[in-house]
Homo-oligomer: A and B are copies of this chain.
């Protein structure tokens, strides 16, 4: 790490930092200057964290050189992580991007779900997504049908051959959920729910981890690191838009550049979710294509047989006929690029 001292710090303050680092086994290079003092220290940051050095008097800033995630880093594993499912579907690397689609929430009508699942299958999708537990900003909003929803999801999966994806909101649900879903999803609001990350890290199930509304790319990769650190390397990142100063026309701002950035610094696959990323039906096709062209390993789309009666997120869900049109264009686009 690099320690930058305040310009008005004293020689003694710098020396205290240097002595402390050397005492703790760091290799230290420094130049106590008239104008500025910079200390470069090489050593084990798990014992002496940057935060401890920052607390010394006279320190202006501590800059860590190496990216703080390790297991998620391409430095440690240069080849792309590829996640393979029992039925041969693969996510990541040079595999054709996957399609994950379905209703925001699984509702209390199996036939609707089946109709949606059949449309997903027909359009070449591999995964059926559907919420059983819904994080909702207001306690007065619909919170999902729980296990019943998961049962429907599994049934639809068995009838269509689609794999299933559903969000886990709490570690205590994991045991039950494991039987129903092929991929666990962690929502944007739980990206720093570290207990949940830990619990999911102990499962042997692929995980879709959504970027938080205000996660930096580095924090996002550190959230993945929490899962991997606990033993689960099957992490699929998902860009779903970040919060900005402008939400007049789109719910969030899709940070499309995060996809090639993450592919440069990490070996993990990353997919895009234009439904949550934009909150607008008419933007799903263009933003899906934008995600694909920059290297996304999949897209996640909300589709509903009757959006006007959807219990959540109807505005951004595609009606089935529109979904079919969009998928036709996306499939043809994937063939071309």
What residues of chain A have their CB less than 8 Å away from a CB belonging to chain B?
Answer: 2, 4, 7-8, 20, 29, 31, 33, 35-36, 38, 40, 42, 45-46, 49, 51-52, 54-56, 59, 63, 65-70, 75, 135-143, 169-172, 189-190, 192-195, 213-214, 216-219, 222, 225-226, 229-230, 242-250, 253-261, 264-265, 277-278, 282-283, 286-287, 289-291, 293-295, 307-315, 317, 333, 336-337
Q: Inside 8 A of A277's CB, which chain B residues have their CB?
A: 257
Q: Which of B230, B248, B258 is the one whose CB lies under 8 Å from A218? A: B248
Whether the Cβ atoms of B253 and A315 lie closer than 8 Å is no
Which residue, A138, A216, A313, has most C-beta atoms of chain B within 10 A?
Answer: A138
Q: Inside 8 A of A8's CB, which chain B residues have their CB?
A: 75
Q: Inside 8 A of A194's CB, which chain B residues have their CB?
A: 135-136, 139, 143, 169, 189
Whether the Cβ atoms of A56 and B308 lie closer than 8 Å is yes
Whether the Cβ atoms of A31 and B29 lie closer than 8 Å is yes
Whether the Cβ atoms of B229 and A139 lie closer than 8 Å is yes
Whether the Cβ atoms of A289 and B293 lie closer than 8 Å is yes
Q: Inside 8 A of A46's CB, which chain B residues have their CB?
A: 140
Q: Inside 8 A of A29's CB, which chain B residues have their CB?
A: 29, 31, 40
Distance of A216 Cα from B54 Cα, bound (Å) = 22
Q: Which 8 A-B pairs have the closest CB atoms?
A: A55-B314, A214-B214, A189-B192, A286-B294, A290-B290, A54-B315, A139-B229, A216-B246
Known contacts A141-B49, A216-B248, A248-B218, A290 near B256 by CB under 8 Å: yes
Q: A52 to nearest B CB, angstroms? A: 6
